[in-house]
């Protein structure tokens, strides 16, 4: 599934992104504490906000992010060690301060 635009699921109780593979805009999942993985999501065209997703364990199939934008990871379950080991190509997009 492709989302053509922004998707805001702030503080939702979602546990999965289902069949979403592409978001052609911003994806804001701030505070989605039940989310464990991004699953089949492969591409986000703008900022990806995962701050407050404390139970998030992995970025699933995420393989590409527009280099002009960042992944907001403040108080998420995604660590610098995880990025270095599993998704090193994303390390310059990661922001654990916001």
Predicted confidence band of residue 1 (pLDDT cuts 50, 70, 90):
very high
Share of the chain above pLDDT 70, in %: 100
Question: What residues contact 90, with CB distance under 8 A and at least 6 apart?
Answer: 59, 62, 65, 71, 83
Q: What ranges do the domains of the chain cover?
A: 1-98
Predicted confidence band of residue 69 (pLDDT cuts 50, 70, 90):
confident
Q: What is the pLDDT of residues 4-51, one digit of tens each?
A: 999 999 999 999 999 999 999 999 999 999 999 999 999 999 999 999
Q: Is the pLDDT of residue 67 over 80?
A: no
Q: Is the pLDDT of residue 65 over 90?
A: no
């Amino acid at each position: 599934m492709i989302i053509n635009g922004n998707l805001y699921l702030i503080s939702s109780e979602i546990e999965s992104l289902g069949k979403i593979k592409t978001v052609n805009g911003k994806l804001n999942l701030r505070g989605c504490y039940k989310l464990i993985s991004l699953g089949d999501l492969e591409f986000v065209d703008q900022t990806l906000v995962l701050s407050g997703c404390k139970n998030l364990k992995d970025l699933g199939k995420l393989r590409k992010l527009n280099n002009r934008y960042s992944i907001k990871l403040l108080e998420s379950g995604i660590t610098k060690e995880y990025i270095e080991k599993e998704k090193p190509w994303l390390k310059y997009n990661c922001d654990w301060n916001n």
